[in-house]
Amino acid sequence: MSLLKDWVNMKVSVSKSQVHGILDAPSSKSYTIRALMCAALSPGQSYIRRALSSDDTLAAADVLQKIGTDVRQSAYGWRVSGGKLKAPDSELFCRDSAATFRFMIALSALVPGTVRLVPGPGLAKRPVLPLLDSLAQLGVKCRMDGSVVVVEGNSFTGGTVKLAGDVSSQFISALLLAAPLAQQGLHIELTTPLTSKPYLDMTIECLKKFGIRVSAASDMANFKVARQDYRPTEYTVEGDWSQASYLLTLGALSGEVVVTNLNAESLQGDRVVLNLLQKMGARLSVRRNSVMVQKSFLHGVTADLTDCIDLLPTLAVLAATAEGESHFRGIKGARLKESNRVDALKQELQKMGVRVREEENLLSIMGGRLRGAVIDSHADHRMAMAFGVLGTSVGDTTILGAESVEKTYPEFWKALTSLGARIESDVKQTG
């Protein structure tokens, strides 16, 4: 399974556009990967309906197949035959999918044999040692070999582990995914307050669908998982609020957009984009499965993004066009994403004439008149999508590294074009 293209790089030029139309939000990347992991640990066949097919989710499917899981795609979804883990014959290349890499590190402790997990070049720069330290506390033999993580399997018996809650919620999700198959069960104690809480809620919800119960303290500082067996199931992936945020922003800046395939009751933290758009003055209408947003006069906003950090690029481009100054707190974690998004946003917005002030955990943006510019995506899918949307409002904007959207939303540029965005692409291929 692969979406990897043979291009060296891609750039798109975005002209000022008037957009209008209806479009499905793509399926959730986070839920797709979690469902794949749960299905791989469930003896028997599971069906994942409306699974997202992107570079990140295909990375997960690829590595799971190498440890004994059969994953087959069809027009109706993915059929996953799991429950029979084996040592891989080769290294597990996780591409630049942080969720795949981190979840698989924990799952590898259940595999009968040695597993070598290889991150892509961007992912190799992101933190992983706290997860290895946690596994070591539980008696798992694991180590770094350069940027490669080596795990000696069949060593995850469970017990009690302590780790920080404010580095990455994926470390905790990884442990929760492996926990049911630990003979002693698992007790997780967080030593610092949890950030990105909604992602833990999503993990626990997905586990429940596959028959696993997690006991979590009301403040999400402690988690207990008893020894349990996964049960195969039929799982339908809901729409992705993170990706929908770009389409909703497109409507607020450049026309009228209706986004469907959205669960208004979703646990996804990025659903808060609706509240933030309303606070900024966007005209929107919410129905059970869809949201309509119309071009609006926006004003600045103050928001804490601790639990929805992936919205920072979306909100930054909205703030750049809004009247007054916006302040975004709780953004420290954005420095540890595919790029240092705080620095990257500051650099690229300043190219467009925007005044930006940065502190360790605060980004302030003064809205005003913008000019087109050549924008570096910093090989970051969310940077590319956010500035692509902004380009439809400003015009004369070129996005370098536009192929980075393959990571989570391969159809993004086609989606914008289908809504009336004026986009021209230039792809340089190998050979």
pLDDT given for residue 36 in this prediction: 98
Q: What is the mean pLDDT of residues 94-104?
A: 98
Q: What is the pTM of this model?
A: 0.96
pLDDT given for residue 284 in this prediction: 97
Residue type at 144 in one-letter notation: M
Start-end of H helices in 258-340: 273-279, 312-321
Closest Cα partner for 326 from 365, 353, 272, 371? Answer: 365
* Paired strand residues for 376: 400
Q: 41: Cβ–Cβ under 8 A, 6 or more apart, which residues? A: 82, 83, 85, 107, 110, 177, 180, 181, 210, 230
Report d(CA 47, CA 65) in Å as an integer: 15
Check pLDDT > 50 for residue 174. yes
The DSSP symbol for 404 reads G
Confidence label for 1 from pLDDT (cuts 50, 70 and 90): low
307 in catalytic set: no
Region(s) of the chain under CATH 3.65.10.10: 7-26+239-429, 29-236
Check pLDDT > 70 for residue 84. yes
pLDDT over 70, % of the chain: 97
Check pLDDT > 60 for residue 10. yes
Report d(CA 221, CA 280) in Å as an integer: 33
Packing angle of the helix pair 241-254, 381-394 (nearest 10 deg): 10
Of the candidates 55, 201, 270, 310, the residue annotated as catalytic is 310
CATH architecture of 29-236: Alpha-beta prism (3.65)
Q: What is the pLDDT of residues 323-345, one digit of tens each?
A: 999 999 999 999 999 999 999 99
Q: What is the mean pLDDT of residues 410-419?
A: 98
pLDDT given for residue 21 in this prediction: 98
Confidence label for 260 from pLDDT (cuts 50, 70 and 90): very high
Which is the CATH superfamily of the domain at 7-26+239-429?
Enolpyruvate transferase domain (3.65.10.10)
pLDDT given for residue 75 in this prediction: 76
